[in-house]
Amino acid sequence: MNLFHPYERLALFIDGPNLYSAARGLGFDIDYKKLRDIFAREGRLVRAFYYTALMEDQEYSPIRPLVDWLDYNGYTMVTKPIKEFTDVQGRRRMKGNMDIELAIDMLEMAAHVDHVFLFSGDGDFRRLVEAVQRRGRRVSVVSTIRTSPPVLADELRRQADVFLELAELGPRIMRDPSVREAREQARAAEMAREQAMPEGGPYRR
């Protein structure tokens, strides 16, 4: 990547749901260890933030294992509960937008870094990018225009100093499909063993 200047201090701001949608639209899953390692090698990585909302009243959330793993492996997690409300038509709605949290953190971190990477295609971040640029920082946007429709808003792409196409970064950060398949097979085998186990557990006589 020719995105970096020598000795640049870097910060990553990952809009979790937006990046997930972009990667799935391109047909791959992200290996977040590989992602962090790339930026740690290319520059002086100061902080990597990951933003997502969580359903707290569910017994199991499919995103919880990822959130826990990221929390233990070098990412700064920013989460909040998803709120339920009823709209004027009486329909049940969910609300879990993390834009404000991301914007505040980026503006605060702008004083401590040289180059910000925003992993999102949300056009609402255009003014945020402009504000950080006015503080003398470079801002690169990581998203994709190769899905249909494109995930990246045109106004955000135009505002960024650099646009990094996620599809081109993909081969360096994608999760190995064979590893995922092996995990799923191991999980299925474990469930089969539990279902075949006699009532009371393996030690019951």
Work out the pLDDT band at 109, boundaries 50, 70, 90: very high
State the pTM of this model: 0.81
Work out the pLDDT band at 205, boundaries 50, 70, 90: very low
* Contact assessment for residue 110 and residue 133, using Cβ atoms and an 8 Å cutoff: no
User: Which pLDDT belongs to residue 192?
Assistant: 47
pLDDT above 90 (res 130): yes
Encode pLDDT of 23-81 as tens digits: 999 999 999 999 999 999 989 999 999 999 887 665 556 788 899 999 999 999 999 88
Q: Which two tokens stand for residue 65?
A: 């294992």
CATH assignment of 9-174?
Answer: 3.40.50.1010
Domain-by-domain residue ranges, the chain?
A: 9-174, 176-205
What value does the mean pLDDT of the chain take?
Answer: 84
Encode pLDDT of 91-106 as tens digits: 665 556 899 999 999 9
Q: Check the CA dihedral 118-123-129-131 and report its sign.
A: negative
User: Which pLDDT belongs to residue 59?
Assistant: 56
Residue carrying the six token digits 């808003």: 153
